């Protein structure tokens, strides 16, 4: 399919769904760029990465907690990617850090299958088969750290297998559990053997005022990149963003990218206060969602 056909299809879709403003290919490319999850290594992420690195070096366990949309997942994924890129330069077949995100009510089978898929190993057989294959695979691929996101989704009895991975002498592997503060802590406290193995905890808090302002400035300059400045870190814009985001990175990212896309669709050269208000009004952050993630 050539570019002319692509443009024709896009114009037909615009017409079908009532979007009559003609957008140039350049504007559409910017909207496409903004629709992708960006990555910006701000101060809070750098601090978290240093802590994760010490955890890997010491081959210890720990838990990473924080409010929903505080940046935990992005920090873990970016750390794993950077660490693995460096470690696999000369030894391609190893998988130093494995990141998995587990589903609700995760049992032992689902836990092992998640790891085996990352290791590109077969996922058939009994739970006993899967356990043995997982431990062998982690050893063969010289895994140094297992990061388990949404760890509060584990069934109670599955933690026995998590302990088994860490306690396996031949592996000598660090294990990190990631989740929202109150949910993960509540789950860990149910089992004395689990809580005693995951005593070290790192909390990703909301940003302080200085970090929040700096991050908005960096986000506008390096990620939003509209033709004219929006002055998002000043005056009413800053006050509005503080209230709407609770100074959480995930919320800030969603609001700013949505606002930038809305500005481009309207033919604006920056994010106006009106556009910012429209975007925030369209996102409903319920108190339940704020508390429970």
Tell me what the mean pLDDT of segment 260-284 comes to.
91
- Whether the pLDDT of residue 6 is over 60: the answer is no
- In this prediction, residue 274 carries a pLDDT of 94
Give the pLDDT of residue 139.
96
Given CA atoms 43, 46, 50, 55 in this order, what sign does their dihedral have? positive
pLDDT bracket for residue 186 (50, 70, 90):
confident
pLDDT (average), residues 73-83:
94
The CATH number given to 24-37+207-282 is 1.10.8
Confidence (pLDDT) at 51: 96
- The torsion angles phi and psi of 202, rounded to 5 degrees, stand at -115, 130
Angle between helices 159-167 and 127-140 (to 10 degrees): 30
pLDDT given for residue 214 in this prediction = 92
pLDDT band at 40 (very low <50, low <70, confident <90, very high): confident
DSSP annotation of 90: S
Section 233-239 average pLDDT: 95
How far out from the chain centre does Cα 288 lie?
A: 21
pLDDT reading at 272 higher than 50: yes
pLDDT at 16 over 60: no
Average pLDDT of span 248-274: 92
pLDDT of residue 293: 38
Domain locations in the chain as residue ranges: 24-37+207-282, 59-204
Q: What is the distance between the alpha carbons of residues 34 and 37, in angstroms, rounded to a whole number? A: 8
Q: pLDDT value at position 1?
A: 46
Angle at the Cα of 222 from the Cα atoms of 216 and 224, rounded to 5 degrees: 70
pLDDT on residue 118: 96
> d(Cα 1, Cα 4) in Å, to the nearest integer?
8
Residue-level pLDDT at 112: 97
Per-residue pLDDT, 97: 97
Q: What is the pLDDT of residues 103-137, one digit of tens each?
A: 999 999 999 999 999 999 999 999 999 999 999 99
In this prediction, residue 4 has a pLDDT band, given cuts at 50, 70 and 90, of: low
Whether 285 shows a pLDDT value over 80: the answer reads: no
More confident residue, 93 or 288: 93
Tens of pLDDT, residue by residue over 196-205, are: 788 889 998 8
Express as a percent the part of the chain with pLDDT over 90: 60
pLDDT, residue 2, reads: 54
pLDDT of residue 203: 92
Query: How many other β-carbons are positioned within 10 Å of the β-carbon of residue 153?
Result: 20
Residues in the chain: 293
**Could you tell me which of 138, 196, 148 has the C-alpha nearest to residue 171?**
138
CATH placement of domain 59-204: 3.40.50.300
Average pLDDT, integer, range 159-179: 91
Select the more confidently predicted residue: 287 or 37.
Answer: 37
Q: What is the mean pLDDT of residues 56-66?
A: 93
User: CA 187, 76, 241, 208 torsion: positive or negative?
Assistant: positive
């Amino acid at each position: 399919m050539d570019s002319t056909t692509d443009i024709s299809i896009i114009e037909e879709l615009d017409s079908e769904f009532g979007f009559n403003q003609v957008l140039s290919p350049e504007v559409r490319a910017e909207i496409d760029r903004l629709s992708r999850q960006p990555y910006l290594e701000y101060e809070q992420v750098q601090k978290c990465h240093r802590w994760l690195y010490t955890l890997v070096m010491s081959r210890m366990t720990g838990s990473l907690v924080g409010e929903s949309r505080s940046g935990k997942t992005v920090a873990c994924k970016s750390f794993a990617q950077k660490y693995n890129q460096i470690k696999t330069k000369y030894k391609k077949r190893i998988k130093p850090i494995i990141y998995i995100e587990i589903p609700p009510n995760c049992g032992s089978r689902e836990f092992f299958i998640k790891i085996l898929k990352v290791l590109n190993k077969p996922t058939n057989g009994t739970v006993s088969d899967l356990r043995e294959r997982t431990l062998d695979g982690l050893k063969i691929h010289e895994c140094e750290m297992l990061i388990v996101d949404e760890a509060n989704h584990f069934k109670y009895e599955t933690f026995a297998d998590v302990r088994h991975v860490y306690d396996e002498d031949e592996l000598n592997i660090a294990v990190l559990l990631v989740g929202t503060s109150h949910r993960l802590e509540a789950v860990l406290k149910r089992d004395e053997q689990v809580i005693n193995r995951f005593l070290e905890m790192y909390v990703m808090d909301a940003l302080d005022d200085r970090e929040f302002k700096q991050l908005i400035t960096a986000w506008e300059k390096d990620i939003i990149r509209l033709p004219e400045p929006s002055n998002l870190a000043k005056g009413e814009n800053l006050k509005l963003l503080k209230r709407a985001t609770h100074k959480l990175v995930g919320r800030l990212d969603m609001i700013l990218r949505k606002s930038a896309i809305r500005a481009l669709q309207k033919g604006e050269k920056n994010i106006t206060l009106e556009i910012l208000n429209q975007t925030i009004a369209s996102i409903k952050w319920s108190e339940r969602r704020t508390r429970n993630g």
